[in-house]
């Protein structure tokens, strides 16, 4: 039985969600035997029942040399963070600290390390504006260095060897980005959002390095030099203990953001659910939502349209309904009716 496919903008994922019966809204990685999330209706949107995360290790071990290309628990947690569903553990303290700096210092800017971009920190929180953010350009270089690694013919042959019953699913990943590069593309998305909304970028002190410790040193030294020379007060937001140690040595202000490590069942609204499906599809390469496969990367994918996903199903009736609903919604959007 062949697959039917449709191209869907990530904001149109809610059409898909509404078309799938509640009792079939299970999210899983198709190469694993267990599902991760059961999506149920709730008064404030959706209830996400988190399932079976303890089964990651056993499933990963079956992929041998390709184990780095299948999702692990940290990838799942990262998708929950970047989508805005999983919150910073000490969020209230972070927000209060930001408010204190804004009241006590004129011209304060908040710097972000690379991991904060991976977590979509600014877009997920309203208490810092993009125009108040400062970034060292070495952060962008760090992300770019990870962004363009692709599967080779041998990579894909090995991958298929560990998933002989899912070769057709993996075909879409041919010559596409590997997992680390897919994750980096999400961080680059946050970088572009910040730049387009007037975040400041400063030149790094010294040459960029691929070594994590050296890169951290460059980030802190660059921000400190800017702070001293421009008389602008800079505060670094980070969850990285090593970066905090560097801040202490350089006498630079920082705010520690404690990341949640345990993913538990929770509620979310429709925007966060569609963001989760989008981020999981991009990080994992593809996910299964009920009877539908959602691809974040696929044959024909272009970085000029990063928000476009491919949706595949073997259910002819569901495919027809998806196409019909998409057509209707797109025609309504073209009318530009004011709300």
Residue 162 lies in a domain: no
Are residues 297 and 324 located together in one domain of the fold?
A: yes
Residue 211 and residue 214: Cα distance in Å, rounded? 5
- Residues 67, 30 within the same domain: yes
Domain total in the chain: 2
DSSP letters along 302-324, please? -TTSTTEEEEEES-HHHHHHHHH
Place of tokens 């990579």: 155
Q: How far apart are CA 192 and CA 8, in angstroms?
A: 22
Residue 155 is assigned to a structural domain of this protein: no
The answer to whether residue 167 sits within a structural domain is no
Asked if 120 and 251 sit in the same domain, the reply is yes
For residues 149 and 175, give the distance between their C-alpha atoms in angstroms, rounded to a whole number: 9
Q: Is residue 168 part of a domain?
A: no
Q: What are phi and psi of 270, to 5 degrees?
A: -65, -30
- Cβ-based neighbours of 320, under 8 Å, separated by 6 or more: none
Strand-pairing partners, residue 37, are: 27, 50
CB 216 within 8 Å of CB 132: no
**276 and 303 fall within a common domain:** yes
Question: Which tokens in the block code for residue 326?
Answer: 């998409």
In the chain the beta strands, taken as DSSP E runs, fall at 4-9, 26-28, 35-42, 45-50, 109-112, 133-136, 200-202, 234-238, 253-256, 266-268, 286-289, 292-295, 308-313
Do 193 and 101 lie in one domain? The reply is yes
Q: Are residues 232 and 250 in the same domain?
A: yes
Domain finish residue from 256, 276, 304: 256
Same domain? For 228 and 268 the reply is no
248 located within any domain: yes
Residue 270 near residue 14 (C-beta atoms within 8 A): yes
Structural domain ending residue among the three candidates 256, 287, 318: 256
Q: What is residue 234's three-state secondary structure?
A: strand
Cα–Cα distances (Å) from 37 to 27, 52, 75, in that order, read 5, 9, 14
Give the CATH number of the domain where residue 248 resides. 3.40.50.1010
Residue pair 236/223 in contact by the 8 Å Cβ criterion: yes
Pairing relationship of beta strands 266-268 and 45-50 according to DSSP bridges: antiparallel
Residue ranges making up the domain that contains 142: 91-148+179-256
| 327 shares a domain with 289 | yes
Does residue 161 lie in a domain region?
A: no
Phi-psi region of 33 (alpha: psi -120 to 50; beta: other; left: phi over 0): alpha
Separation between Cα atoms, residue 95 and residue 124, nearest integer Å = 13
pTM of the model as a whole? 0.92
Query: Both 60 and 138 in a single domain?
Result: no
DSSP characters over 100-163: HHHHH-TT-EEEE-HHHHHTTHHHH-SSS-GGGEEEEHHHHHHHHHHHT-B--HHHHHHHHHH-
Domain check: are 81 and 96 in the same one?
A: no
In a domain, 169, yes or no: no
Residue 224 lies in a domain: yes
Q: Please check whether residues 315 and 201 belong to one and the same domain.
A: no
| Final residue belonging to a domain, choices 238, 256, 274 | 256
120 shares a domain with 97: yes
One digit per residue, the tens of pLDDT, for the chain of length 339 reads 578 999 999 999 999 999 999 999 999 999 999 999 999 999 989 999 999 899 999 999 999 999 999 999 999 999 999 999 999 999 999 999 999 999 887 789 999 999 999 999 999 998 999 999 999 998 998 898 888 899 999 999 999 999 999 999 999 999 899 999 999 999 999 999 999 999 999 988 866 555 555 788 899 998 888 877 776 789 999 999 999 999 999 999 999 999 988 899 999 999 999 999 999 999 999 999 999 999 999 999 988 888 999 999 999 999 999 999 999 998 988 887 655
């Amino acid at each position: 039985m062949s697959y039917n496919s449709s191209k869907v903008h990530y904001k149109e994922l809610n059409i898909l969600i509404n078309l799938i019966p509640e009792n079939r809204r299970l999210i899983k990685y198709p190469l694993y035997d267990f599902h991760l999330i059961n999506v149920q209706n709730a008064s404030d949107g959706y209830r996400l029942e988190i399932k079976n995360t303890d089964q990651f290790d056993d499933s990963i071990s079956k992929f041998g040399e390709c184990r780095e290309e299948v999702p692990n628990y940290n990838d799942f947690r990262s998708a929950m963070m970047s989508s805005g569903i999983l919150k910073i553990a000490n969020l209230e303290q972070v927000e209060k600290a930001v408010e204190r700096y804004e009241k006590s210092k004129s011209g304060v800017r908040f710097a972000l390390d690379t991991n904060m971009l991976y977590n979509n920190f600014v877009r997920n929180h309203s208490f810092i504006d993009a125009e108040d953010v400062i970034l060292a350009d070495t952060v962008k270089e760090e992300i770019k260095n990870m962004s363009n690694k692709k599967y080779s013919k041998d990579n894909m042959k090995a991958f298929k060897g560990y998933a002989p019953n899912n070769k057709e699913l993996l075909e879409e990943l041919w010559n596409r980005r590997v997992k680390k590069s897919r994750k980096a593309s999400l961080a680059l998305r946050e970088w572009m959002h910040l730049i387009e909304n007037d975040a400041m970028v400063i030149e790094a002190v010294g040459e960029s390095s691929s070594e994590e410790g050296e890169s951290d040193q460059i980030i802190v030294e660059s921000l400190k030099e800017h702070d001293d020379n421009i008389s602008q007060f800079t505060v670094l937001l980070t969850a990285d203990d090593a970066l905090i140690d560097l801040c202490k040595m350089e006498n630079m202000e920082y705010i520690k953001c404690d990341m949640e490590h345990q993913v538990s069942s929770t509620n979310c609204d429709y925007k966060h659910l569609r963001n989760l499906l989008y981020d999981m599809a991009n990080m994992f390469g593809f996910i299964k939502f009920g009877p539908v496969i959602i691809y974040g990367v696929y044959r024909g994918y272009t970085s000029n349209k990063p928000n476009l996903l491919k949706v595949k199903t073997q259910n002819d009736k569901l495919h027809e309904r998806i196409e019909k609903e998409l057509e209707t919604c797109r025609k309504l959007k073209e009318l530009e009716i004011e709300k």
